[in-house]
Amino acid sequence: MPKRALDITQLARLVNHGPTVIVSCAHEDRDNLITLAWCMPVSISPPMIGVAIAPARFSHDIIRQSGEFAVNIPSAELLGAVWRCGTVSGRDEDKFAGSGLTRFDASVIGAPLVEECFAHIECTVESAPVAGDHTVFMGRAVAAMVEESAFDGRLSLDGAYRTLHHLGGSAFLTSAGERVTAA
């Protein structure tokens, strides 16, 4: 099959990555949510996750100052909230209220978790190397929880547990192979 050159700035869209997540963070009297497609496991022992966040994002400084964050895994049914948390700044609004999501207490860290998400990973920042125009916060997992029927040693990815995978712009693919667009 013929191939064409790709604008190098689009290369991240070729890489198969995990689900789009909502990262929650808090410092002092402010908390925030940020939607991220760039989230990946970086170590099995100790268990660690990396999230890439541009320094201009409001959550960047909150995570840097607090030294912690949580990765919340939403289902495809939360597409509207996922989109809002990724397109509105927490400097301008309370994203929990604006997206209709509910805070609930984490078991170890100070940042709230997102009740409507089916899984959560609480992390403390081990390091934060700068990689070009993003900081990769390397978080050591200190607690995790998942809805029982969503995980039997592997993520279900069916029905209520279909995950979202960002394709660029407002386009997403669910783990069931359905292409959806955020409004």
Domain boundary assignment for the chain = 20-158
Which CATH number is correct for 20-158, 3.40.190.80, 3.40.50.720, 2.30.110.10, 2.60.40.1510? Answer: 2.30.110.10
Rg (CA), the chain: 16
Q: Which amino acid is at 164?
A: L
Q: Residues 147, 152, 157, 159: what is their CA dihedral angle, to the nearest 10 degrees?
A: -60
Q: Which amino acid is at 89?
A: S
Q: Rounded mean pLDDT of the chain?
A: 93
Q: What is the mean pLDDT of residues 144-171?
A: 91
For residues 109 and 69, what is the distance between their CA atoms, to the nearest angstrom?
8
Q: Which amino acid is at 85?
A: C
Residue-wise pLDDT for 25-37, tens only, equals 999 999 999 999 9
**pLDDT above 60: residue 16:** no
Backbone angles phi, psi at 89, to 5 degrees: -85, 140
Q: Residues 79, 83, 84, 90: what is their CA dihedral angle, to the nearest 10 degrees?
A: 130
Q: What is the mean pLDDT of residues 122-147?
A: 96
In this structure, the number of other CB atoms found within 10 A of the CB of residue 90 comes to 20
pLDDT at 6: 74
Question: In this prediction, what percent of the chain has a pLDDT beyond 70?
Answer: 96
List, as own/partner pairs, every contact residues 86-94 make where C-beta atoms lie below 8 angstroms and the sequence separation is at least 24, other chains included. 86/34, 86/35, 86/36, 87/35, 89/58, 90/30, 90/32, 90/33, 90/34, 90/58, 90/59, 91/58
Counting every residue written for the chain, the total comes to: 183
pLDDT at 3: 76
Query: Partners of 69 in the beta sheet?
Result: 123
CB 163 within 8 A of CB 17: no
**pLDDT above 90: residue 101:** yes
